[in-house]
Amino acid sequence: MEFEDEAFLLSARSHGENGAIAELLTLSHGRYAAFIAGGGSRRIRPLLQPGTRVRARFRARTSEQLGSATLEPAGSDPSDLFDDPLALAGLASAATVAAGVLPEREPQPGAFAAFEALGGALRHDDIWPAVYVRFEAGILQALGFGLDLSRCAATGAVDDLVWVSPRTGRAVSRAAGAPYRDRLLRLPPFLLSAQGGLSPGDIGDGLALTGHFLDRCLFSALNRPLPAARVWLVDKLTEAGRL
């Protein structure tokens, strides 16, 4: 078995004297793990940073084997974010979430596109937290748990949608949800429209919304908590006054 694909590095760990096991999010083949010979070398080590975009060539004797891969740089890498700890925390959280819930070896072009969009946005301090929330919503969508924000679940209204049901993931209008507001999740306007502006509290509401469904629908089903990197991101955004 042999193929080439575009990929983003999600994680890597040392293996043997000078090798590494890398997890990659590929464009056409989904999440893939492979052995990287020389993973500890000066040439290969920089490619094993989460978020690095590579061209990967995979090889295995059979489709059931772990297999190996060779990597070549193919564009963006996170080196220009090293002076921005908050953006790096966002990248680490995204990579950990993707590695934690995406099934192995199943094509996930939507998840790849969401990760690609976030990678580009991380260089723009004013917008990337909102794009991060959209990334998590995209992961939910790719795995069949997308939020339905098109109309009110109770009345069918398409205007004044301000909450989301924590049980169904469907939007609820202000009027219909008022009696149950303490049980509903807040819906930030930027998730309804690309032109929706950001108001204080919107990023926190967005992270609470996507975090609830990531936990309820994906991580809990795998008997895992939300990743520590994701919790750390929320803590760092809180400390920076970005929520």
Predicted pLDDT of residue 181: 94
Cα angle for residues 156, 134, 211 (degrees, 5° grid): 85
Q: Which residues contact 139 (CB under 8 A, 6 or more apart)?
A: 97, 98, 101, 102, 111, 114, 214
Predicted pLDDT of residue 65: 82
Residue 6 tokens, joined: 């575009």
Q: Which residues contact 110 (CB under 8 A, 6 or more apart)?
A: 138, 141, 142
Which pLDDT tens digit goes with each residue over 75-126? 778 988 999 999 999 999 999 999 999 999 999 999 999 999 999 999 999 9
Predicted pLDDT of residue 228: 97
Which pLDDT tens digit goes with each residue over 203-218? 999 999 999 999 999 9
- pLDDT of residue 195 exceeding 80, the answer is no
How far lies 223's CA from each of 27, 195, 207, 214, in Å?
27, 37, 21, 12
Which pLDDT tens digit goes with each residue over 148-174? 999 999 999 999 999 999 999 999 999
By the 10 Å C-beta count (0-12 exposed, 13-18 middle, 19+ buried), 191 is classed as: buried
Phi, psi of 61 (to 5 degrees): -70, -40
